[in-house]
Structure 1
Amino acid sequence: MSLELNKAFAAILTAGIAFMGAGIVGEQIVHPKRLATPAIQVGEPAPAQQAAAPAAPTIEPIAPLLAAANADNGRTLATRACGSCHTFNEGGRSGVGPNLYGIVGASHAHIPGFNYSNAMRALADKPWDYEALNQFLAAPARAIAGTRMAFAGLNNTGQRADVIAYLRTLAAEPAPLP
């Protein structure tokens, strides 16, 4: 049985070496070159268009939605979407991301000793208000360029409102609604 297995591996290895050798010889024989301009021109050449930079999508303000937001739905969403990296309990340890207890109203880099990205540390003097959380939860990398958070974001404004309403409850004294 062992000899048959060795023969099979040798056949695969030999075929791979043969194909690699054929590729190298083929590149030496044929030198494909791309044309700088099309060989056949039909009609007038199209004018060169400058690509417009895509405008950053506008994010709907969250303040009007917070009064009707459902913190229980937010807990479910946050546990599912954020729970693998963050903890939510008072005094909880930080994981890949910082503990989020008391995040609403706290400064951006508020947990001492946590290894925040330079981009997050640069915003340490700014608080996590409702709109800052809304922008960050919509698209973390767009809200804070250079963040280490590898979360794509929540596109649904209602879901963001629910998560923010839940995060608001994570405090001894929740921050007042706007």
Structure 2
Amino acid sequence: RQVPRQQGQQDGKVLVGGAPSLSSQVDMAMNNLKKEKEMEAYIRAAKETEARKAAEAEESEDKPKIQQTVNPVSAAEKPQELIDALSRYLKKQKGVKRAYLQLMLGEQPHYLIAVECDDDRAAVFAAIKAEAGTYTDLAVKVVDVASDSAKDLVSGEKPFYEKKRFGLFS
């Protein structure tokens, strides 16, 4: 037999004048607070993910994207006038031991020049970049042979310039 519900009761919660009881209001408020905290955590996680992706994208922009051509040493990719001019210039630089040149393809094609030198790298690299800029319209980036961006270029490739060594102990 069913017991008829009295007015003022709703699923075990007593209603006062048709409004939810205080314990029911507290439960609803706690539930809403829990949902708000979950939403805040979700938004925070989304923002952190977005910031991490932006940082990774920025970091990857700092490193040159190495997309080598089909034949990385072809003469068409290394204009002889540029190579000759850089070789003459590097011959005068005592601290430069060897240099490699590669056309890098991608969104913005550019020349990557990897240099092994003992002198002040910043000054030497800036001078090499300026010298190369007079012989090509493409952007030129000069890096140390030990850098991450130059490792693929240096491994297995012959340098376009190498300092001649003289004497027994050179």
User: Do the structures match in fold with TM over 0.5?
Assistant: no
Give the number of the structure whose residues are more often strand, by fraction: 2
TM-score normalised according to structure 2 size: 0.26
Q: Which structure has the larger Rg over C-alpha atoms?
A: 2
TM-score normalised according to structure 1 size: 0.25
Q: Which structure is higher in RCO with an 8 Å CA cutoff and minimum separation 6?
A: 1
